[in-house]
Structure 1
Amino acid sequence: MTIQVDPIRRNLKFGLPKDKAISWNPAGLHVTQFFNTLSIFFPAGERFFIQSVRNYRKEIVGDDLKEQISAFIGQEGFHTREHEEYNDALVAAGMPIEAMDSLVVKLLELVKKAPRSFQLAATVALEHLTAVLGDVLLRNDGLLEDVDPHFSAVWRWHAIEETEHKAVCFDAYEQVMGKGIQAYGLRVGAFVLANLLFWSLYVPFYTVMVAKGGGLLNLKGWGKVLNLTLGRPGVLRRALPDWLDFFRPGFHPWMHDNRHFLAMADALVEEVANFDVNQAKAA
C-alpha cells in the first residue's frame, strides 16, 4: 500500500468522573458495561504491544517507519495511563477490575514466553481487532450520543489513534518477517488464537460486570446490547467483513481507508482542553 499515515502523540487527560463510571451512557448499564469491559484489557494489552514491537526496534530500517514506531509507542503509553485511570474509576464503583486485570496480565506473560515473532504477530492481530472496533465507534455516531462528555472523549480519542496507527505494527511485521507463506501463516494463526483468547475472556468478564452492576436478570438490558452488537443496528455484525479481511494473503490495514476520521482529532483536542479535569476527578 502507498498510504502513509504518521501517528501523532496527543498527551490528553480526561479526568473521568468516578461517580459516573457505570452510568455514563444513557443507553443503560448493559451498554455502558460493554465499553467498560473493553477498558479492562487495555493497560496490560498496550504494554504488551509496546514490548512486542520494541523487540525488533534495532532491526527496523527506514526513518519513516522508525518514527511511526516511536509515535505508536507514545500513543500506546498515553492509552495505558488513561485506561488505568478509567479502571480505577470502575474499582471505585465496586467492579472487580483488579482480579480480571491480573488474569489478563498472567495470560500475556505466558505469551511473552513464545518466540518474539509470534508476539509481534499477536500484536498485529489485536491491532486489527482494535482498529475494527475503533472504526465501528467512529462510523456510528449514535453509540456515544448524549453520553457524559469525558467518557465520550476518551473513547473517541482512543478510536482515532487506533485508526491512525493501525498499520504501524503490520508494516514492521512485514519488514522483519516478509510477505511469504510462512509469514502469512504465522499472522493468521496468531489472529485466530488471539481472538479466541480475547473473546473467551471478554464474554465472562462482561457478564461479571453486568452482574456486579445489578443487571444480570434485566432481560430488556440484555436485549438492548444484543441488538446493538448483533441485531439492529448490529454494529459488530456489520463490521465482520472488515474483520475477516485479515485472512486475505494480500491484506493491509489501509485497504480499509478511513483516514477521513482523523480530521476529527483537532476538534477533540480542543474539546478536552476545555475540560475541568480536577473538578471531574472530584465528582
Structure 2
Amino acid sequence: MNANIHFKVDPVVRKNLDFALDNIGRHWFGNDPFKSRFFDSVSLLFPDGERYFIESVRGFRERIEDPKLQEDVKHFIQQEAQHSIAHSKMNDVLESHGLPVTQITAEANEIFLWMTRNFSPRFNLALTAAFEHLTALMAESFFGDKKDFAEADPYVRALLAWHAIEEMEHRDVAFDVMKTVGDVPELMRKLALPAAVLHMFGIGLIRTNELLRYDGYSRRERAQMFMQGLPWFMGAKGLLPKMNRQFMSWFKRDFHPSQHPVIAQYDVWLKVLAETQDPIQAGEAFWQAGR
C-alpha cells in the first residue's frame, strides 16, 4: 500500500435518498440546452457504467486477503448500486420528457458488455480505477467553485452532490484492488486513464448531440451550441482544466488517489444530512459552501 496516503475517508452506504427529480424541467441547467444535455448524456451512461465497475472489481474479490479492503469493496459495490438506481430514476424523468432513453441506455449497455468480453479482466479493473479517479476529480471541479453550478436545478444539483460525496469516499477502492491483487502492469495502468477520458467525454459529446437533435434543434443550431458550450467545459477557464494538476498526477509511479485532499465542504454535506435526513438540503449546503 502507498505510504503517501494522506486523505482517506471510508465509504458509507446510504439508501432510499429522495431527490424529487420529478420536479426538474426539460433544460434544467439555467435553461441552457447544451449544458443540460451534456450532463444528461453522462447520467444516461451511469446505470450501466456502475454495473460495469461493480463486475470489474468483483472479479478480483476472492483474491483479496486484507479484511479492511474486503469491507471497502463491499461498501463500494453497495454505493455503486445506489448510484445506478438514482441515475435510473433521473433517466426515467428524461424519458418522460420525450428523449430516447431506452435506446441510448441499451447502446451503452452493449458497449460495456463489449468491453467486458473483449478486454482482459486486468484492463477492465484498470479502467474502473481510472474512471473512479476521473469522477472524483469531476466532483472537485464541479463543486469547488460555487459559481459553476449556480444555474443548475437544485434537485439535480443535490443528486450530483451526493454522487460527488460518495465518489470521494470510494475513489481509492478499485485502485487498491488493482495494486494489491490485480497484477496490472504500470503501462496498462497509465493507459487506462486516457481511455477512460475518451470513453466518458467522447461518448458523452456524441450523446449530447443526439439528445439536442431529439429536442428539435437543427444541425446548424447544434453546431452553434457546441461552439458556445465547449469553452465552458473544456476551455482554458472551463470545468475540466481545473482538475489538470490532479489529473496528471495519475501518471506518477507513486500515485494514489488519497494523496489528494477530499473536497473542502465534504463535512458540510455530512453534517446537514445527519441533522435533516434530507439530501436536497445537504446538497444545497454543500454547493453554498463552495468558494
1:6 corresponds in structure 2 to 10
Q: Alignment length, in residue pairs? A: 272
Structure 2: how far apart are the matches of 1:206 and 1:194?
A: 18
1:147 corresponds in structure 2 to 152
2:170 corresponds in structure 1 to 165
Moved more, 3-12 or 212-221: 212-221
Structure 1: how far apart are the matches of 2:242 and 2:263?
A: 19
2:140 corresponds in structure 1 to 135
Is 1:153–1:272's contact at 8 Å kept on the other side of the alignment?
A: no
**Matches for 1:174-253 after TM superposition, within 5 Å:** 174-177=179-182, 183-216=185-218, 217=221, 221-231=225-235, 233-253=237-257
Secondary structure (helix, strand or coil) at the match of 2:161 reads helix
Moved more, 259-268 or 37-46: 259-268
Question: C-alpha displacement at 1:80, in angstroms?
Answer: 0.2
Structure 2: how far apart are the matches of 1:59 and 1:251?
A: 23
Deviations 1:216-251 (A, max 9, x none): 516774454223213363111232332222122211
1:121 aligns with 2:111: no
Moved more, 205-214 or 164-173: 205-214
Question: C-alpha displacement at 1:164, in angstroms?
Answer: 1.6
1:262 corresponds in structure 2 to 266
Question: C-alpha displacement at 1:149, in angstroms?
Answer: 2.1
Question: C-alpha displacement at 1:144, in angstroms?
Answer: 2.2
Is 2:19–2:158's contact at 8 Å kept on the other side of the alignment?
A: yes
Structure 2: how far apart are the matches of 1:274 and 1:254?
A: 25
2:112 to 108, 113, 116: 108
2:289 corresponds in structure 1 to none
Is 2:24–2:156's contact at 8 Å kept on the other side of the alignment?
A: no
1:280 corresponds in structure 2 to none
Is 1:164–1:259's contact at 8 Å kept on the other side of the alignment?
A: no
1:40 corresponds in structure 2 to 44
Deviations 1:85-138 (A, max 9, x none): 101111111112222211211111112123221211111111111112111112
Stretches of structure 1 that go unaligned for 5 or more consecutive residues are: 276-283
Give the share of equivalent positions with the same residue, in percent.
28
Length-normalised TM-score, structure 2: 0.84
Structure 2: how far apart are the matches of 1:45 and 1:219?
A: 28
Question: C-alpha displacement at 1:39, in angstroms?
Answer: 0.2
Q: 1:98 to 1:18 in 2, by over 3 A?
A: farther
Question: C-alpha displacement at 1:18, in angstroms?
Answer: 5.5
